[in-house]
């Protein structure tokens, strides 16, 4: 019975109420709907919200492509601000502003998504940041440019890059687990 009720709430949200202004409020509400699968044992956050987030990411990459004809790759956008090229910088600054504004909105309406818990020492974050900054430049892209945009257009380079960085990430976490850095 409970499963049916909760499922109806989610359906309402999907099919009957896509009013954009209340969109965020609805997302917050939907996260409170628990257990519509597995009879109350599974939190909807575990897969439904990642799916909603993924759809938003796909839509936003489409919006930038449709309006400006550019690929939504964050590492490339960032590099174009840090190492500016004449005439190709202003939109990148605007995009970074959009990401920061998203962070501010999230802090207000969905603070749990910004409750970052540090997982290690500053040295670990320094090493991680250097690897991510250097690696994405050498590899011409990151999770957005290769993982979302590149795979969507079936670019062989992006497919190879995505498999490589996910595999490297899995190996790094396995290594951290092996040496006891992960509890």
Partner 1 sequence: MSLLLAAFFSALMFGLGLGVAGMTLPSKVIGFLDVTGNWDPSLAFVMIGAIAVHSVSYRLITKRASPILTANFQIPTKRQIDPKLIFGSLLFGAGWGLGGFCPGPAIVAAVSGVPSVLVFLVSMIAGVYLHQFINKSFLSKGN
Which residues within the stretch 57-96 sit at the binding site for partner 1 (CB under 8 A)? Answer: 57-72, 74-75, 78-79, 82-83, 90-92, 94-96
Cα 125 to Cα 92, 96, 122, 130, 136, distances in angstroms: 25, 21, 5, 8, 16
Q: Which is nearer to partner 1, 10 or 96 (CB)?
A: 96
Contacts 24+ apart (CB under 8 A), 4-11: 6/33, 6/34, 6/35, 6/36, 7/36, 9/33, 9/36, 10/36, 10/44, 10/48
Query: Per CB under 8 A, does 106 bind partner 1?
Result: yes
CB 149 within 8 A of CB 162: no
Q: In angstroms, rounded to a whole number, what is the distance separating the alpha carbons of residues 74 and 27?
A: 24
Q: In angstroms, rounded to a whole number, what is the distance separating the alpha carbons of residues 142 and 165?
A: 8
Q: Which of residues 124-143 bind partner 1 (CB under 8 A)?
A: 124-140, 142-143
Q: Which is nearer to partner 1, 6 or 30 (CB)?
A: 30
How near is the Cβ of 80 to partner 1 at its closest, in Å? 10
Q: In angstroms, rounded to a whole number, what is the distance separating the alpha carbons of residues 175 and 38?
A: 33
Among 3, 25, 38, 166, which residue interacts with partner 1 (rule: CB under 8 A)? 166
Q: Which is nearer to partner 1, 38 or 99 (CB)?
A: 99
Q: Which is nearer to partner 1, 38 or 171 (CB)?
A: 171
How near is the Cβ of 18 to partner 1 at its closest, in Å? 14
Query: Per CB under 8 A, does 10 bind partner 1?
Result: no
Q: Which is nearer to partner 1, 22 or 125 (CB)?
A: 125
């Amino acid at each position: 019975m409970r499963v049916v009720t909760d499922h109806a709430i989610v359906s309402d949200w999907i099919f009957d109420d896509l009013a954009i202004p209340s969109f965020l409020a609805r997302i917050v509400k939907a996260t409170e709907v628990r257990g519509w699968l597995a009879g109350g044992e599974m939190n909807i956050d575990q897969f439904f919200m990642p799916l909603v987030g993924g759809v938003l990411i796909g839509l936003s990459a489409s919006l930038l492509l449709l309006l400006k004809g550019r690929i939504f790759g964050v590492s490339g956008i960032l590099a174009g601000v840090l190492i500016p090229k004449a005439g190709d910088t202003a939109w990148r600054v605007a995009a970074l502003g959009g990401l920061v504004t998203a962070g501010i909105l999230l802090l207000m309406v969905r603070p749990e998504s910004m409750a970052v818990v540090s997982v290690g020492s500053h040295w670990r974050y320094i090493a991680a940041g250097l690897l991510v900054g250097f690696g994405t430049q050498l590899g011409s892209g990151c999770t957005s440019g290769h993982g979302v945009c590149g795979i969507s257009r079936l670019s062989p380079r992006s497919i190879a890059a995505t498999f490589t960085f996910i595999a490297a990430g899995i190996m790094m976490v396995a290594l951290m687990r092996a040496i006891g850095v992960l509890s």
